Structure 1
Amino acid sequence: MAISDILVFNFLSLSIASLFIDTYLSSKHFQQLGAASLFIVSLLFAFPAHAEQNKRNESTQQQNRAKLSDVQQAIATQESNIFDTNKQRSNLERQLKTDDLAIAKVAKAINDIEVKLSNTQVKIATLAREKQQLTIAKKKQERLLAQQLRAAYTTGQHDYLKLLLNQNQSDKIQRTISYYQYLNQARTKEIDKFQATITKLLQVNTEHQEQVTYLQQLKAEQLQQGTQLRTSKKQRSKTLSKLSRKLLSSQQQLNKLKAEENNLNQALHKLAAIIQAEIDLTGLSKLKRKLSWPVKGRMLHRFGSRKQGYLKWKGVLISAPISRQVQTIHNGTVLFSDWLKGYGLLTVIDHGNGYMSLYAHNQTLLKAVGDRVETGEPIALVGQSGGQDQSGLYFEIRHRGKALNPKLWCK
């Protein structure tokens, strides 16, 4: 209630009081004067007090409404910030996948080049040895031909036509003619061998030079791919740095890990549904303590240890340097070979009878879906894909979807 309203109310109250007093005086009701006066005075004090209380209540309500509006605005701002943060994280995670795949492509190219370099160097060494052997054979044949030519020159002092016309020494003539024929045949054979050696030597020289040129091209390509790999790694580092600034609470981190684990379980269930039993894949049930670890390194996280909240590790995380070969623990068929959120570049191998092995956080994958792999065969290179801050391999063994302790199988 406004102050002007209170003044008007007080004026009206005084007027009513005066009217009551005049009425009582004219009626000579003096005995009621005291009670009426008290009633009027109480009215004069009661109404202003009630108005003041209403004023305070209204002010409090206005303040509460203002606070509620501020809280609602803060909630809306926070929800908007959370939405923007989640959107940015999603974009950064997609960018991380792109970065991981770019690194994988370059790393695979470098690995292929290294294999080609090794094969080329072996071939060059083989050709060099063959070239040396041919050169030795060529020199030997040259000496033999030289001896034959000297022998022919020595015996060639007789005129061949005179020997034929001479009828007095027919036996000697026959022997000489036979000797000439023998020398000619031997010389012709050696000349043919010499020509074949020369031809082969030329071929080897040409192939050797081609392989040397190819080796130089491979080395140049390797340098180029190395530069591209460093560029891709820098881009990935920037993405990880941006992701690290989008800090998650413990509950958000737990929810994130649960979602990633659910994605993996769903993927494995789908793979299990499409597995076609192979007669020669007998599983791992009889191979406890007989298998080798897929990579050598220090154990960072063990099976069953606490991961986040109530979540536990369903495999092991092994520290290893980038680009070290990851080898399959047993023969099988590649079921999955791709990038999966939370696990990076992932390979899953079916070993038969419901047994699978899983290899995650690789730098690149060397096998495609459907490929048959043998025990100890390289299937990937160690990396840190999937958002890892250090290089290593995450490794699981599962039987019909249930995670098993790898230490019971690997020695």
Structure 2
Amino acid sequence: MRLFINTYLVSNLTRYTVIISLVLLSLLFTATAPAQQSDGNADAQLQSRAKLSDVQKAIAKQESNIFDTNKQRSSLEQQLKTDDLAIANVTKAINNIEAELSITQSKIVDLAVEKKQLNLSKERQEQLLAKQLRSAYTTGQHDYLKLLLNQDQSEKIQRTISYYQYINKARIKEIESFQATIAQLLQVSTEHQTQIANLQQLKDEQLQKDNQLRISKAQRSNTLQKLSRQLLSSQQQLNKLKAEEENLNQALNKLAAIIQAEIDLTGLSKLQNKLSWPVKGKTLHRFGTRKQGYLTWKGVLISAPISRQVQTIHNGTVLFSDWLKGYGLLTVIDHGNGYMSLYAHNQTLLKSVGERVETGEPIALIGQSGGLEQPGLYFEIRHRGKALNPKLWCR
């Protein structure tokens, strides 16, 4: 597509070069026609030819400058893609770390509660064992061997022996339970310390990723500044937007050609004014309004805070999840029966091609990839390639 733009500009410039040259030649012949009838026009002809040569050199230099500018811009756009992808990877890693942090913190809380309960159980068991030991000590004055050898009052002796056996069994059971509690408490305490160490490691990793994110954002900002210094004319801007839109259309047409319809994907035809917007925010550009020249917005641009979750409007399958020139990090969802929704300029993409997504499921995080001036989401709904007004579907 860049080749198309470069060829277009160069071909236009070549056309203008030919026209200017013809005009200059015409002026040259017109100015020199009377001079040919006189012997003093040789110098005028030489001057005219010299001027024509200077103009042609200036045009050639301008052609070279435009070619170099387009080449440099193409390189910067590739660098912008690299910067956007670097930010996306770091942001996704941070998002995963935050999820792990939440799980780890929850485990630590649960283990702390379990540890507290085990300590209470341990204390109760210690008190019970102490009570049993005191009871055994107070009855220890009865010599068990003497009772066995004493033949008097055999029935009383039998009851006493049975009582001792019962007490011993209860004591053994309590001791075994106490040992199990101690072992479980040790295990929980070890796991608790492990999770605390894991939490600290995750925090350190998150800090490292935050630093990487700042570096990547600074690099992206530098790239955008270089791009902004290369001012485009209105016609060049129109051609750029037209090329990007055509690039999107070609990508969507290719996706439509490989879609394998799923039985349970019924499209959006019966869901007008029933769907939720993918993100809450102020609408910066509405469907159908003027974009540049004769181009109009095929969707809506919604302003939203960076890193806010982008949610799919309906269940479907991820058809595209990658960076696309002019749209940055883009996700396209197939909803069945020729209906698609697309979400552009994300900071990071949370779903991969082929994954099934459900209504309201997070699929990306708000960003400003692709050169967007401020954080936001570009959102479209299409049916068999035709852009539809999202306002008729989302409420």
| TM-score, length basis structure 1 | 0.86
Q: Secondary structure at the match of 1:318?
A: strand
Match of 2:324 in 1: 340
- Per the TM alignment, residue 53 of structure 1 is displaced from its structure 2 partner at its CA by 5.0
| Distance across 2 between alignment mates of 1:259 and 1:51 | 51
Match of 1:90 in 2: 74
The question of 1:117 aligning with 2:101 is answered: yes
Match of 1:162 in 2: 146
Q: Which has the larger radius of gyration?
A: 1
Q: 1:376 aligns with which of 360, 379, 383?
A: 360
Amino acid at match of 1:316: V
Q: Deviations over 1:77-129 (max 9, x none)?
A: 11001000000000000000011111111111111111111111111111111
Is residue 298–residue 387 contact of structure 2 (8 Å, CA) maintained in 1? yes
| Distance across 1 between alignment mates of 2:35 and 2:394 | 86
Is residue 281–residue 304 contact of structure 2 (8 Å, CA) maintained in 1? yes
Q: Secondary structure at the match of 1:54?
A: coil
Is residue 316–residue 336 contact of structure 2 (8 Å, CA) maintained in 1? yes
Amino acid at match of 1:405: N
- Per the TM alignment, residue 395 of structure 1 is displaced from its structure 2 partner at its CA by 0.7
Match of 2:209 in 1: 225
Q: Deviations over 1:373-410 (max 9, x none)?
A: 11111111111000111110111111111111111111
Structure 2: stretches of 5+ with no match in the other structure: 1-33
Alignment of 1:116-135 (within 5 A): 116-135=100-119
Q: Deviations over 1:290-318 (max 9, x none)?
A: 21111111111111111111111111111
Match of 1:181 in 2: 165
Change beyond 3 A, Cα 1:51–1:136:
closer
The question of 1:273 aligning with 2:273 is answered: no
Amino acid at match of 1:190: E
Match of 1:30 in 2: none
- Per the TM alignment, residue 156 of structure 1 is displaced from its structure 2 partner at its CA by 2.5
Alignment of 1:181-330 (within 5 A): 181-330=165-314
Aligned residue pairs: how many?
A: 362
| Distance across 1 between alignment mates of 2:131 and 2:269 | 73
More deviation, 168-177/300-309: 168-177
Match of 1:41 in 2: none
Q: 1:100 aligns with which of 68, 84, 107?
A: 84
Structure 1: stretches of 5+ with no match in the other structure: 1-49
| Distance across 2 between alignment mates of 1:396 and 1:52 | 68
Is residue 35–residue 41 contact of structure 2 (8 Å, CA) maintained in 1? no
Change beyond 3 A, Cα 1:195–1:96:
same
Aligned-pair identity (%)? 80
Amino acid at match of 2:290: R
Q: 2:336 aligns with which of 326, 347, 352?
A: 352
Amino acid at match of 2:283: M
| Distance across 1 between alignment mates of 2:132 and 2:297 | 83
Q: Secondary structure at the match of 2:275?
A: coil
- Per the TM alignment, residue 278 of structure 1 is displaced from its structure 2 partner at its CA by 1.1
Aligned Cα RMSD in Å? 1.4
Amino acid at match of 2:124: K
Is residue 349–residue 364 contact of structure 2 (8 Å, CA) maintained in 1? yes
Amino acid at match of 2:194: E
- Per the TM alignment, residue 203 of structure 1 is displaced from its structure 2 partner at its CA by 0.8
Regions of 4+ moved over 3 Å: 50-53
Match of 2:15 in 1: none
| TM-score, length basis structure 2 | 0.89
Amino acid at match of 1:364: T
Q: Secondary structure at the match of 1:209?
A: helix
- Per the TM alignment, residue 55 of structure 1 is displaced from its structure 2 partner at its CA by 3.4
